[in-house]
Amino acid sequence: MRQQKIYYWSPFLSSIATSKAVINSANSLMKYEKNYKCFIMNFFGEFNGLITDNKVVQFLNYYRFNIAKYLPYKGKLKSRFSFLLLFLMGFFPLLKVLKKNKPDYLIIHLITSLPLIILIFFKFETKFILRISGYPRMNFIRKLLWKVALKKIYLVTCPTYNTLNYLKDLNIVESSKLKILYDPIIKVREINKKKKEKIFYKDYFLSVGRLTKQKNFMFLCKAFKELVKENDNIKLIIAGSGEEKKKLKIFIDKNKLSKNIILLGYIKNIYPYFVNSKGFILPSLWEDPGFVLIEASHCRTPILSSNAWPGPVELIKDNFNGVTFKSNNLESFLRKFEYFNHLINIKDLQLNSLKLSKKFSCFNHFSSFSKLLRKEA
């Protein structure tokens, strides 16, 4: 039987958690099924830091450095200019790949409308599979564009039912083409090995993510400012890097919280920090699904999460596999943190949380995805 060629087009603006999930997806298909040959298109250098760790999947490099990280994204006009530039830079290389290499499938993580435009104006034998997370912003023109393009799409996959149902309600794609596909976040053996690494810190709460407005770390710092008034020894570690770092550091220094709130920066191996923490806190305004939630679940770390849409509100059930608070609401957070800090049924929560993470294992992703590719789902 001829090997099926599966190409991934996922031009993220920087190396993020989803970048690793793309690699995990390709790896899992090739590990468990010899009939697949996977390629990841490294258009703007977004996979550069991850290529050296991979010996299975083939990367197709079009630009040697990550131009995306030098582009402006603050402000509507600047961000639109940046996405237009990425669109123009990616158009002809992608068109050439589709015509010359003729993939059986193209897996798309959408940040620009490029693949949709190509679908409308060109005809290919390649089957397009679109992965959508979060809620795409729609106006009349975008909705019309999506409707026309999605008529030619093979499948649309979503990481949560909230997103899937939102797309159903938009009525831009046939319901039969909408499928749930959990992201391949958990590599069980690798994580179980990495989480044994010893670390220096003890007796702390942990929060992890890019330092951006979406992740809402300023809210968390303000909340801990209130908690410190009651307990001067309380400690929060924030692991991650991003454009909000300077603003967060100014707030911490101004309020004399450097002993209580530690900005650790990017940590390559975050798993021992999960294992050794008193609890993991997710303050995000939105996530889909929320990769760090899944990682914390696998490490059996007690979870305190905002009820953000579409991921956390679906995945974390209050007092079942975690504790939830009203998103961006200080009063709700402080009340729920007090309860969270004195959990009685912690073992039940940890067990239920571990069950959640199994949905997001690489093997489960392969099993579900291969069925979709064979149209058995």
pLDDT of residue 376: 47
What percent of the chain stands above pLDDT 70? 90
pLDDT of residue 88: 73
pLDDT of residue 239: 98
Same domain, 65 and 146: yes
Same domain, 56 and 139: yes
pLDDT of residue 355: 94
What percent of the chain stands above pLDDT 90? 66
pLDDT tens string 256-303? 999 999 999 999 999 999 999 999 999 999 999 999 999 999 999 999
Same domain, 168 and 72: yes
pLDDT of residue 150: 87
pLDDT tens string 128-183? 999 998 887 778 887 888 888 888 899 999 999 999 999 999 999 999 999 999 99
CATH number of the domain that residue 215 is part of: 3.40.50.2000
pLDDT band, very low/low/confident/very high, at 377 (cuts 50, 70, 90): very low
Other Cβ atoms less than 10 A from the Cβ of 202: the count is: 9
Same domain, 67 and 199: no
pLDDT tens string 31-65? 998 899 999 988 777 777 776 666 678 888 876 66
Q: How many domains does the chain have?
A: 2
pLDDT tens string 188-198? 999 999 999 99
Of 211-215, 220-224, 371-375, the range with the lowest mean pLDDT is 371-375
- On the CB side of 209, CA atoms within 13 Å amount to 25
Same domain, 220 and 236: yes
pLDDT tens string 305-360? 999 999 999 999 999 999 999 999 999 999 999 999 988 678 899 999 999 999 99
Which span out of 12-21, 71-80, 106-115, 179-188 was modeled with the highest average pLDDT? Answer: 179-188
Reduced 3-state DSSP string for 248-307? HHHHHHHCCCCCCEEEEECCCCCHHHHHHCCEEEECCCEECCCHHHHHHHHCCCCEEEEC
Reduced 3-state DSSP string for the chain? CCCEEEEEECCCCCCCHHHHHHHHHHHHHHHHCCCEEEEEEECCCCCHHHHCCCCCCEEEECCCCCHHHHCCCCCHHHHHHHHHHHHHHHHHHHHHHHHHCCCCEEEEECCCCHHHHHHHHCCCCCEEEEECCCCCCCCHHHHHHHHHHHCCCCEEEECCHHHHHHHHHHCCCCHHHEEECCCCCECHHHHHHHCCCCCCCCCCEEEECCCCHHHCHHHHHHHHHHHHHHCCCCCEEEECCCCCHHHHHHHHHHCCCCCCEEEEECCCCCHHHHHHCCEEEECCCEECCCHHHHHHHHCCCCEEEECCEECHHHHCCECCCEEEECCCCHHHHHHHHHHHCCCCCHHHHHHHHHHHHHCCEHHHHHHHHHHHHCCCC
pLDDT of residue 353: 94
pLDDT of residue 241: 93
Same domain, 155 and 192: no
pLDDT of residue 59: 86
pLDDT tens string 57-86? 888 887 666 666 666 666 666 666 776 777
Same domain, 25 and 132: yes
Same domain, 71 and 119: yes
Same domain, 216 and 289: yes
- Indicate the pTM of the whole model: 0.91
Same domain, 16 and 140: yes
pLDDT of residue 79: 65
Which pair of tokens denotes residue 326? 């009203």
Please give the mean pLDDT across all residues of the chain. Answer: 89
Same domain, 142 and 242: no
Domain that holds residue 155: 4-184+361-373
Same domain, 342 and 368: no
